[in-house]
Amino acid sequence: EVQLVESGGGLVQPGRSLKLSCAASGFTFSNYYMAWVRQAPTKGLEWVASITNSGGSTYYRDSVKGRFTISRDNAKSTLYLQMDSLRSEDTATYYCTREGNFNYGSPDYWGQGVMVTVSS
Amino acid sequence: DIQMTQSPASLSASLEEIVTITCQASQDIGNWLAWYQQKPGKSPQLLIYGATSLADGVPSRFSGSRSGTQYSLKISRLQVEDPGIYYCLQGYSAPYTFGAGTKLELK
């Protein structure tokens, strides 16, 4: 059974840093692109960043470029999101997602989400 | 960036009714379009990928179609478990963009 379990969320002050982790199981992690998607309270879904299966290429939305870093450790089957210089508008539930291999890259599995609150 | 204009923002329908939700892409995205359902407090669930292909385990009353840059999600006979928020997602080019969502309620 595919499982994605996020951790590392919490309350953080503006300008500070936080690192999210996503432990994957039930599939060969190194074979899949992965992504982070977020959802601000009562708002819609917003793609944040993606990473190729080898970790050799990464992609970001403009609003997080230069502040967030997506990475992975294939030996540990873990995805990360390092978030620096956090802003109040980064407050959201962050979902770890697996991008499917044979479905136009659509995220086919999602974690339960982890809440990040940026506030003084 | 590619914009995804989703409509309607909300709708109310009766059991067994046919429901259609649409997304208009601001440029050609081919079949790089997926649909998701999200229920309150839950993670989104993939319904349709490649514009028209049904994801594993999704009931056959859900279907997707494409006409040019307009994409539609149809629920052929609305069931009690179908209310929620539905989103489209374009995966053609980064930044990948979601529609604003359609809140579907039972009448």
| Separation between Cα atoms, residue A59 and residue A84, nearest integer Å | 16
Helix (H, G, I), strand (E, B) or coil at A90: helix
Q: State whether B49 and A106 contact (CB < 8 Å).
A: yes
B44 preceded by a cis bond (ω within 30 of 0) = no
A103 pLDDT band, cuts 50/70/90, is confident
Alpha carbons B63 and B54: distance in angstroms, whole number: 7
Q: What is the pLDDT of residues B10-64, one digit of tens each?
A: 999 999 999 999 999 999 999 999 999 999 999 999 999 999 999 999 999 999 9
Band of the pLDDT at B67, cuts 50, 70, 90? very high
CB contact under 8 A, A45 and B46: no
pLDDT band for position A101 (cuts 50, 70, 90): confident
Please check the confidence at residue A104 and state whether its pLDDT lies above 90.
no
Q: Which 3 state secondary structure label does DSSP give B33?
A: strand
Per residue in A29-48, pLDDT (tens digit) is: 999 999 999 999 999 999 99
Nearest-CB residue to B91 (from A46, A62, A105)? A105
Q: Among partner residues A61, A95, A106, which is closest to B34 by beta-carbon distance?
A: A106
Rounded CA-CA distance B56/B45 in Å is 11
* DSSP symbols for A11-68: EE-TT--EEEEEEEESS-GGGS-EEEEEE-TTS-EEEEEEE-TTS--EEE-GGGTTTE
Q: Residue A36 CA to chain centroid, in angstroms?
A: 3
